[in-house]
Amino acid sequence: MTSFAPAPSHLAFVPFVSVENMMALVHTIGIETFLRELAEYLEADFKRWPEFDKTPRVAAHSAEGVIELMPTSDSSLYGFKYVNGHPKNTKEGLQTVTAFGMLADVASGYPTLLSEMTLLTALRTAATSAMAAKYLARPNAKTMAIIGNGAQSEFQAMAFREIVGIRVLRLYDLDRTASEKCARNLSGQGFDITICDSSEEAVDGADIITTVTADKQCATILSDNMVGAGIHINAVGGDCPGKTELQRDILLRSSIFAEYPPQTRIEGEIQQLPEDHPVTELWQVINGEAKGRASDSQITLFDSVGFAIEDFSALRYVRDKLDATGLYEKLDILADPDDPRDLFGMLQRSKGADNA
């Protein structure tokens, strides 16, 4: 029997970057170059921040964690990320965070990229942290304490080495094996690494403190007496209502910078403060519209919760690398009949092909 089912057109296929291909892409480019170039994409999009549609992410909270959708768009591209955060997962052999994302053409609505974003989120989070520190930390910063040595810690260290110049790491985690894992993974990367027995020991002598713990609770990872003059705090772990890492008094002594305050006031460290407490948007600092670090004695705090524009930047970066590397698959995920009005006919003809 003759088949009348049309073969998929080129419009039916969407480039898909799997975990395997994402890892290959990072190794092909080199992780240092990847982080540096990704930070450049992030910085470029922060400079045009007013062009984007912005809304706090759509979140479904449960006792176990959160599932979120993070959308944004400029005049030509739409992007979104699906991401979860389930701290209990590690006890069950699962990732705390998993994600995937998509870019689409605004003019047609057709998807142009589908990608894993578990690895990519880790990379963009680290690149964003280091990009912010470039503007907010003291220019001669060389030592960073990382409190919380789980899946994000090595990415933070590598980004800060490449973009800020950090060479000395002081690691602390309640689970010492996590610190040992982090130190082992970063061996041979040019760091002087000390595993510490307490968070107080870890912050001693640090220019930058990164907090990146996972527990979904209001915790005191840093207390006020641990934070001296001139410190830059990169607060990454607090990213949902009821989850913080810093004692409130630290916030009152700090100049606070955020990605998108309407979201950060719900999810970040500043959920502990009144709605009218002053916060500076990071894009304004990058554009020269607001001051970042004003003195060597100033305490600066990047209250980082992650925002959709950062994922948009990361997806743009990956998309722009695909033609040169070929590290993607073509997925037939868009129904594209010869006649756009005849979707049912396409379905019927496929039945004839199956019976041929």
For the annotated catalytic residues, the residue numbers are 239
Q: Can you say how many angstroms the Cα of residue 57 is from the centroid of all Cα atoms in its chain? A: 13
| Token reading at 244 | 């913080």
Tokens 């309640």 label which residue?
174
**243 residue type, one letter:** K
Dihedral of alpha carbons 317, 319, 322, 327, sign = positive
Instruction: Give the list of residues 6+ apart from residue 141 with CB closer than 8 angstroms, or none.
Output: 133, 164, 165, 166, 207, 208, 232
User: In the chain, how long is the greatest CA-to-CA distance?
Assistant: 81
| Token reading at 323 | 């033609």
Half-sphere exposure of 109 (CA within 13 A, CB side): 1
Nearest-angstrom CA–CA distance, 338 and 121 = 38
DSSP conformation class of 6: P
Q: 324: part of which helix (H) or strand (E)? A: helix 308-325
